[in-house]
Each structure stands twice: as structure tokens, then as C-alpha cells.
Amino acid sequence: MNELANNLNQLMHIGDGFFEDFGEPLFTMDSSNNMKSDVIKTDNGYQVTVDIPGVDKDNIDLSYDQDVLSIKAKRDSTLDQKDKENNVIASERSYGEYVRNYRLPDVLADKISAKAEDGVLTIDLPKAERKETGHKIEIG
């Protein structure tokens, strides 16, 4: 019952962090299904590194839209330790679908690159030059 209350509370506050600093996750998830990540601001843009142990790269979907990087991943159940009656002896590894979203503004979307290696997903997001949004007007 407590888990249900926590999930409802998260749902009610789903947009609370939307305008937080860039790089912060937009939505929080239960830690058992959370993809652990690092977001680094570099001189040239951003680098996002996500732990994805046991996830095949074909089961990862990346997108960037309206300043938001979205990572969706799916890990299938691989229950391989069973007793004689096919009952699971232990199951501690999580599986299912995972989603993380990061607000990372001013990115050159067509230059984003990603690689998955040794259970780690690395995404490089080059930053676009920020255009001046205003200027001083002299009175003549």
C-alpha cells in the first residue's frame, strides 16, 4: 500500500522539476528501475553517461526534441536459476522498461552521437552557438 501511495505522489508531482536546471532528470522513478547516469557540461556541449547493464543496444531508443533528451531502454527477464519444478530460486536483477529524460538546451540535434559498450551508454550532445536574443538600442 505504501508503494502505491508513493507512486501516486510521484504522478501528482510529475511536472514539478520541469524548469529546474538543465541536466536534471525531468521525472524521478523508483530507484529499482532507475538508470544511473552522469551528465557533464563540456566546452563543446554535454556528455550523458548511463549504466545499462544487460540491455542490448537494439532495445534502446534515443530521441532529442524541444531541448529534451529522452532515453528509453528495455531489459528482458533472464531468469536462469530455477529449481527442479521451474520455480525461481532468487531474482534480484531488475528488468522491464526504463525511461529517463534530461533537459539539455541549445544542442545541435543532427550532430548527437551515441555508443553502447560494456553496459554503459555514452551520448555526446554538441552545443549550438547561442544566438544573441537582444541588443542595446541607441536613442538618436
pLDDT per 10-residue tile (average), the chain, 140 residues: 60 51 46 76 96 91 95 79 65 81 94 95 91 69
pTM: 0.65
Identify the pLDDT of residue 27: 45
What's the pLDDT at 94? 74
Q: Domain extents for the chain?
A: 2-126
- CATH class held by domain 2-126: mainly beta
Instruction: Give the per-residue pLDDT at 3.
Output: 66
Query: What's the pLDDT score for residue 139?
Result: 85
Torsion of CA 94, 99, 103, 109, to 10 degrees: 120
Residue 103: CB partners within 8 Å, gap ≥ 6?
Answer: 18, 20, 22, 23, 24, 26, 67, 68
